Amino acid sequence: MPRPIQALIDHSALENNLRVARRATSARIMAVIKAEGYGHGLLRVAEALADADGYALLDIRDALRLRDAGYRQAILLLEGYFDAEDMVLAAEHGVSCVIHSDWQIALLDACPKRGALDVWLKVNTGMNRLGFAPQQVAQAMERLRRHRAVRDITLMTHFANADEARGIAAPLALFNDVAGSYRAARSLSNSAALLRYPQAHGDWVRPGIMLYGASPFAETSAQQLGLKPVMTLSSRIIAVQELRAGDEVGYGSLFRAEHSMRIGIVACGYADGYPRHAPTGTPLLVDGQRTRTLGRVSMDMLFADLSALPQAGVGSSVVLWGEGMPVEEVAHAAGTISYELTCALTARVPVVTR
């Protein structure tokens, strides 16, 4: 028998979550499948999201994997190209490119074909990560419009606080001000802005996390948003220890029993992608019942509190996150976000699809 850990990827949940996005907007949907579809598998996710109007990712090689698999939708490279060779490949295969810097415009001169490339001009509206400052946009726009390699231009930005109380008012006003004078398609919204700010939908929305069934908001659950978890990371209990008061658990002896108790050893550790920094008290399901982790997560195992689960033992099922155990809750307990957990799933975890 193989080690009992597995990640179940639920296609119908992806389809459901795309429908939730559809219902929320009339804009076209660029499904964000960077980082191997947030750890769910690039082609697996692309297939379940085949109704999307386009796919957004980072690496031209991943874009070519999609083209090779027969996908004809729009594909957008969210960081654009990194050198002239990638730019030529993008032009050859009809892959759109974000243009965020002058050096990328300069590379366009190496494009062998006229009108070969659709570009998304990125405006920096305050995040100060990628993009042209508002006062640089007119000049960049001019260079792109005049360039023989460029076919279509879309204007885009990305919000720093769409999921936060601070919101998007200031960057949205800045973007609208800059974009107002052009007849170009617009794209602004990630999952949080798509769900919360219809006034920022523009022509293309760019949902990522919501498609995988996690809420982008701290105060609203995925279930409240109608989203279903796509990845369920599960395993089993492979050993049980009976502790007496004063007994300690795991590396660093971080947990110490105050009274006698039973604990289960779960076949899942940080080498599977479970966060090592998840502290005692991180929630998980054993036999469908909520309980907590204890002590330090090790490479291949972690500890579950079985005090309140007298029927649980060797062979009991464990859900680390997914169905019945929202990944956001686990992430919150571990001081991170759901994105990091699903992305961190490692190659040794067998994936099953449903």
Ligand X SMILES: *Cc1c(COP(=O)(O)O)cnc(C)c1O
Binding positions for ligand X, rule: CB under 6 A: 32, 34, 78, 158, 190-192, 206-209, 216
Q: How far is the CB of 34 from ligand X (least distance, A)?
A: 6
Is position 251 annotated as part of the catalytic site? yes
Give the single-character DSSP code of 132.
B
What is the distance between the alpha carbons of residues 244 and 225, in angstroms, rounded to a whole number? 44
User: Two tokens at 110?
Assistant: 């190496």
Least distance in angstroms from the C-beta of 159 to ligand X = 9
Nearest to residue 285, comparing CAs of 320, 326, 330, 238?
Answer: 320
Pick between residue 40 and residue 206 the one whose CB is nearest to ligand X.
206
141 is in an annotated binding site: no
Q: Annotated binding residue at 299? A: yes
Cα(233)–Cα(268) distance, rounded to whole angstroms?
A: 9
Do the Cβ atoms of 170 and 126 come closer than 8 Å? yes
In the chain, alpha helices (H): 11-24, 34-38, 42-48, 60-68, 84-92, 102-107, 137-146, 169-179, 191-196, 327-333, 338-343
The beta strands (E) that lie in the chain are given as 6-9, 28-32, 54-57, 74-77, 96-99, 117-122, 150-156, 185-187, 204-205, 231-243, 248-249, 255-256, 261-266, 283-286, 289-294, 302-305, 317-321, 351-353
Output the residue with the shortest Cβ distance to ligand X.
Answer: 208
> Taking Cα atoms as reference points, which of 294, 321, 289 lies closest to residue 305?
294
- Nearest residue (CB) to ligand X, 312 versus 345: 345
Closer to ligand X by Cβ: residue 194 or 286: 194
Q: Which of 34, 81, 270, 339 is catalytic?
A: 34
Distance in Å, CB of 215 to ligand X, minimum: 11
Tell me the C-alpha distance between 122 and 143, whole Å: 14
| Residue 212 or 303 having the CB closest to ligand X | 212
Helix 60-68 × helix 84-92 angle, to 10°: 20
Q: To the nearest whole angstrom, how small is the minimum distance from the Cβ of residue 313 to ligand X?
A: 39
Q: Considering the complex, what minimum distance in angstroms separates the CB of residue 202 from ligand X?
A: 12
Question: Least CB distance from residue 257 to ligand X, whole Å?
Answer: 40
- Quick one: 207 or 269, whose CB is closer to ligand X? 207
Residue of 197, 212, 251, 339 with catalytic role = 251
Q: What angle do CA 134, 138, 141 make, to 5 degrees?
A: 115
Give the CA diameter of the chain: 77
Q: Pick the closer one to ligand X by CB: 150 or 205.
A: 205
φ, ψ dihedrals at 205, nearest 5° = -105, 160
Residues annotated as part of the active site: 34, 251
Binding-site residue numbers are 129, 299
Binding-site residue numbers for substrate are 129, 299
